[in-house]
Amino acid sequence: MDIKFSWQEYGEILDLYSDRLKSFTEARGASEFVILRHDVEFNVARALKMAQIEKSRGVKSTFFFQVMSNAYNPFSIKNHDAIHIINNMGHSVGLHAYISHLDAPSSSILDKELKKQKNIFENGLEIDCLSFSFHRPPMWALEIRKDEMCNMINAYGPSFFELSRHPEHIK
């Protein structure tokens, strides 16, 4: 079965949920919400295209970029400029934190790594980093149930993500 997903179909999905879309900040404490977030894994140009489609429909979302990616360099001139365009459209831009290389999982080691990557992000992109999502988070990181870490909103915090084998409330 060859299923293709088009930009037009993406726009139609945005139209269906546009009245419930909220930012991470707006979603805190809300009983119902849809957060539109993009963990940019491979292609900054494709993220820019999505941001343009969203803007054309009056939708704002959050784009998370890695500073330790094997697939792209967020600080190349082309990617740096694209990330700034996304940010200037009114979308949120945050850190897609890579932590799989950490040897000993602990809150203090995680805080040190998040601060390091946040510093790289802010200095390299010249954009304040107000939120993050983990890249392929190990279970120990998800078990740290905090909405905020290192002065950044945690996309996997309890207000946005339910950590349970049998979730009662989808977040």
Residue with tokens 């001139």: 77
CB-CB contact of 110 with 75 (8 Å): no
Q: What torsion do the CA atoms of 162, 11, 50, 2 make, to the nearest 10 degrees?
A: 80
- What phi-psi label fits residue 90: left (phi over 0), alpha (psi between -120 and 50 degrees) or beta? left
Mean pLDDT by 10 residues, the chain (171 residues): 80 88 82 90 95 93 95 96 97 95 82 96 97 92 90 93 78 57
pLDDT of amino acid 30: 77
CB-CB contact of 61 with 94 (8 Å): no
Token couple for 114: 């998040």
pLDDT of amino acid 29: 75
pLDDT of amino acid 94: 97
Token couple for 32: 């119902």
Q: What is the dihedral sign for C-alpha 163, 168, 169, 170?
A: positive
Buried b vs exposed e over 93-117: b needs ≥16 C-beta within 10 Å? bbbbbbbeeeeeeeeeebeebbeeb
